[in-house]
Structure 1
């Protein structure tokens, strides 16, 4: 594909994403607003479901946005909960600072999540974090403890950014931060393909690619060095914790990550989906939503 055609295709994807996000029919009954983190980064927030229900906060992964959680937000099993999503710093419609330490310092991401909880007045939310979102939750637990939440679910979550837990894809990560636009986009496309054992339909993949195109290049360069305090965060947590991983994950090593988490906290429960990759909530949404629903019901009733 020529560079001009690639630009046109990318433009069409971003327009489609903007139309979808703006369409009242697409997200009927939702509320959009922003909050500001302690370091001044503006975070885009969305709410759906029952505003009086028990709160669930969804934290997406690298190159994503709150739109990643559509199959959960639209599931009837969750409509009696207060469903809160937000775009991580450097992603989606949230602020995109240029300083590297805005992304390498794990405490910044923890403060963002704390700001969401405080600003939304979410009482004892259940946290659900995918991939990078798992690291955000660990850093939150390390900085703020678990007294303010009911429980947490890690979905193919990053426990630590260490070689024994992360699959090496040096060429992909190199291309993702390339200054050449085509190389950069090819790298992001390759990364997204690696997210799935069961590849998504064309419309879903196009939306994911549009999400990726909105992500900050500065963030992508710096986030690979993000600090993750899993030992402090997971190690001292007393609330229910569930790990759901795809056995075919090509980005995070599922069994070593689960083993490391359980070595830090033997009370952690885990589920391994044999036929899913890095995104079981999209690859096997019915099974995932059933397991998530069971966990939430148990956690909020404690």
Structure 2
């Protein structure tokens, strides 16, 4: 177990792959932890690349400060972790809120980010009114109050019928209410359209055809803000294609990383 003490915040992280390899950093979605990437890790090249994952604040084994959190704070957490690990020029892979962190980090510290993967994310996700309602629901009934509706948005019906599905529902409902609320505030207050449109670095957008949280057109719209970007649609997958379609996800990610001569 690896813990980084970042100005008093303890973040849990993990490193896989080649210890001397080029860095690839992964940032997960709201309501999940670094295990989100387990299936993909098993399918990525194990030589030449060093894979760094972490639990954002309020999630997994990381500290859970009192909410609300700002997106700038979440971006700074990633920044401090990469500085702590002396990582520069990484391919940064962010899914959902992790993709928002990726956009903010690239705008703030281009020395840390060589290329972006914006997976199932957007420059702005939903509306403040929607997030305010979700925050109120969690405040009243815990994360369990949102679980069933979220699972429908996240996963295809066939995956929801599988034995594995229960694991992902459990992961979400075991997220501390304070951590979920804190990150929900960060998403509600974020609009990166202007920020992301100013980025100039290799960018890949990934979407799931059945994603009810960040539909493909929304992901494509954000990806297209970056000149020269690429977009890839994974069919028969929802909001977490790294879980539902890990072979396809790992393939497109590996091709993108290789194209950067990383």
Instruction: Provide the C-alpha distance between the structure 2 equivalents of 1:79 and 1:288, rounded to a whole number of angstroms.
Output: 19
Relative to total residues, which structure has the larger strand share, 1 or 2? Answer: 2
User: Please, what TM-score do these two structures have when normalized by structure 2?
Assistant: 0.87
1:176 and 1:220 in contact (8 A); partners too: no
Equivalent in 234, 237, 244 of residue 276 of structure 1? 237
Q: CA deviation at 1:194?
A: 2.1
Instruction: Provide the C-alpha distance between the structure 2 equivalents of 1:123 and 1:265, rounded to a whole number of angstroms.
Output: 21
Aligned to 1:187: 146
Secondary structure class of the residue paired with 1:48? strand
Aligned to 1:35: 4
Give the alignment of 1:53-64 within 5 angstroms.
Answer: 53-64=21-32
Aligned to 1:293: 254
- Render the CA deviation track for 1:204-233: whole Å, top value 9, x for unaligned: 323323322332212323433323352354
Instruction: Provide the C-alpha distance between the structure 2 equivalents of 1:155 and 1:133, rounded to a whole number of angstroms.
Output: 8
Equivalent in 6, 29, 41 of residue 73 of structure 1? 41
Equivalent in 104, 111, 126 of residue 76 of structure 2? 111
Give ranges in structure 1 of 5+ residues lacking alignment.
1-31
Aligned to 2:204: 242
Aligned to 1:228: 190
1:71 and 1:282 in contact (8 A); partners too: yes
User: Please, what TM-score do these two structures have when normalized by structure 1?
Assistant: 0.77
Higher mean alpha-carbon deviation, 61-70 vs 246-255, is at 246-255
Q: CA RMSD in A?
A: 2.6
1:249 and 1:276 in contact (8 A); partners too: yes
Instruction: Provide the C-alpha distance between the structure 2 equivalents of 1:221 and 1:269, rounded to a whole number of angstroms.
Output: 32
Give the alignment of 1:155-170 within 5 angstroms.
Answer: 155-163=119-127
Instruction: Provide the C-alpha distance between the structure 2 equivalents of 1:176 and 1:225, rounded to a whole number of angstroms.
Output: 13
Instruction: Provide the C-alpha distance between the structure 1 equivalents of 2:185 and 2:67, rounded to a whole number of angstroms.
Output: 13
Give ranges in structure 2 of 5+ residues lacking alignment.
none
2:234 and 2:249 in contact (8 A); partners too: no
Q: CA deviation at 1:122?
A: 2.0
- 1:83 maps onto 2:43 in alignment: no
Q: CA deviation at 1:257?
A: 3.5
1:158 and 1:257 in contact (8 A); partners too: yes
Instruction: Provide the C-alpha distance between the structure 2 equivalents of 1:177 and 1:124, rounded to a whole number of angstroms.
Output: 38
